[in-house]
Amino acid sequence: MVREILVWPHPLLKQKARPVENVDDETRALIKDLFESMYAADGVGLAAPQVGVLKNVIVLDTTPRQPESHAVAMVNPEILTLDGKTVYKEGCLSVPGEAEDVERATAVTVRYLDEQGEQQTLAAEGLLAIAIQHETDHLRGVMFVDYISSLKRELIRKRMKKMQAAMAEDKADAEADAKTKGQGTERRRAEA
């Protein structure tokens, strides 16, 4: 099921997520939803808090831009090592249409539980390494906008508010249209 992705500065995006105690069917259902929501939004990563679930679960798929990588779901991911430095223009599905330079490590090793609850360790570089750092940040309530200047962050905040106001207005218009159409149908019926 594709879930709604929360838009920053939604308060849930600033909360710390909790570790998953058992990787069970509920966890696997959440992973499936995260993958579906990420693909529907054309993203390379998604963290559970972005769909309002405060659990330490992330999904990643950087294969479109890094064919040697593979799609992966991580439960309770923990970054063990960070090496090198790189600057990458990052975006986020919770901050649609925005991208800013963020400094990250070039390579990471991460330990996590897979969908069967088995412990795994992965060494990643390039976009996958950046995405792992970005998604694990979400689990502690940190967003890429927290790394940029406060001036840029405030401009993005204004654009997000404006975008959400426009979306709310569109929704209200659509609802009003549906209501008018409904009344029209009734009137026509009464006339017939």
Q: What is the binding site for Zn ion (CB under 5 A)?
A: 92
Q: CB-wise, 82 or 142, nearer to Zn ion?
A: 142
Shortest separation between residue 8's beta carbon and Zn ion, angstroms? 9
Q: Whose CB is nearest to Zn ion?
A: 92
Helix (H/G/I), strand (E/B), else coil: 20: coil
The yes-or-no answer on residue 100 being catalytic is: no
Strands (E) in 54-160, as ranges, are: 57-60, 72-83, 86-90, 100-104, 107-113, 119-125
Q: Which of 98, 115, 135, 186 is an active site residue? A: 135
In angstroms, the Cα distances linking 106 to 84, 123, 180 are 5, 11, 56
In angstroms, the Cα distances linking 192 to 123, 171, 187 are 71, 32, 9
Shortest separation between residue 51's beta carbon and Zn ion, angstroms? 12
Q: CB-wise, 117 or 159, nearer to Zn ion?
A: 159
The DSSP H or E segment spanning 46 is strand 45-47
Q: CB-wise, 20 or 49, nearer to Zn ion?
A: 49
Shortest separation between residue 134's beta carbon and Zn ion, angstroms? 6
Residues marked as catalytic:
135
